[in-house]
Amino acid sequence: MKAVICTKYGPPEVLTVTQVEKPVPKDTEILVAIKATAVNSGDVRMRALAVEGFLKIVMRFVLGFTKPRKPILGTVFSGIVEQVGSKVQHFSVGDAVYGITGFKFGTYAEYIAVSENSVVTQKPDNASFEEAAAILFGGQTAIYFLQKANIAARATPSVLIYGATGSVGAAAVQIAKHYNARVTAVCSSKGQDLAHELGADRIVLYDKEDISQMPEKFDIFFDAVGKAPKKLALNLLNKGGSYQTVGGLDVAADKLEQLQLLRTLFEEGKLNPAIDRIYTLDEIVEAHRYVDTGRKKGNVVVRIG
């Protein structure tokens, strides 16, 4: 099968499209013919080993010293179940599914074998494979941090999403709206249109306005790009408010329920997949170059097959 291999840590050019053996599903695994994946900020970070200080050493232990031990990167997929292991109970051949592999990676490929008990489920009925792949990374992360902020326990929370136009931020605006929040989105002038489309109640342009001078306070300040000064965030919180950031050491744990919530929201027309660009697997280097800019708006999808 065709796959993208990461030959060493480095710039996008370390990625090579090649042929590798097609996986064979074990008894409890399903074989998925992948139709779409996405290039996320986490992927380019892994490829470049772009982490600070002692974390670099930790990551070499976790991922591999000079190159990833699991050479096929990519953590999200959508596709069709092509084969099921003899003990698989919950999936059938032909099911349209989507899932997250996390640190197991392996989605920049035509096929993947995953446990039926991993983070994989039916994709939203009305989503294309590209849309299904787009909503996973940011959606899962946004749900994790907003739930950590206990958003459901607040009746009509006021929520500030800092960096509202990335994969995580775009999803966070919409997930917060699902929890009846009044959402203030902070983004650049270039992201203004997207923030509006996502349903933000108020948009603050960080390149035109001084956020520290905002008169309002918030129940939740979610820094979805990890770039807001913590002091600024804490100053803008109501008493008892919650500050969350993607920039700390907390890694958003993947859970099946997150995918189920994303499916429901998409099927109800409440989740815009915010697809910025679509590439093919052969264009993976260009896709990584674009995501490396840190300026993408929403999600970058890779169509396969």
Ligand X SMILES: NC(=O)c1ccc[n+]([C@@H]2O[C@H](COP(=O)([O-])OP(=O)(O)OC[C@H]3O[C@@H](n4cnc5c(N)ncnc54)[C@H](OP(=O)(O)O)[C@@H]3O)[C@@H](O)[C@H]2O)c1
Residue 155 CB, nearest approach to ligand X (Å): 27
Instruction: Show contacts with ligand X in window 281-300 (CB under 6 A).
Output: 294-297
How many residues bind ligand X (CB under 6 A)? The answer is: 30
Q: Is 191 in the site for ligand X (CB under 6 A)?
A: yes
- Secondary structure of residue 148 in the 3-state scheme: helix
74 lies in the site for ligand X, by CB under 6 A: no
Q: Write the DSSP symbol of residue 109.
A: B
Residue with tokens 């992927």: 43
Tell which one of 81, 120, 252, 287 touches ligand X (CB under 6 A): 252
Q: Interaction with ligand X in 140-159: which residues (CB under 6 A)? A: 141
- For position 187 contacting ligand X by CB under 6 A, the verdict is yes
User: In the complex with ligand X, which residue's Cβ is closer, 64 or 247?
Assistant: 247
Q: Which residue is nearest to ligand X (CB)?
A: 166
272 near ligand X, judged by CB under 6 A: no
What's the CA gap between 145 and 161, in Å, rounded? 11
User: Using CB under 6 A, which residues numbered 209 to 248 contact ligand X?
Assistant: 224-227, 246
Q: Which long-range contacts (CB under 8 A, 24 or more apart) does 281-289 make?
A: 281/2, 281/4, 281/17, 281/108, 281/110, 282/17, 284/4, 284/12, 284/15, 284/17, 284/39, 284/108, 285/12, 285/13, 285/15, 286/12, 287/39, 288/12, 288/15, 288/39, 288/43, 288/44, 288/47, 289/12
For binding to ligand X (CB under 6 A), which residues are involved? 40-42, 45, 138, 141, 163, 165-169, 186-188, 190-191, 206, 224-227, 246, 250-252, 294-297
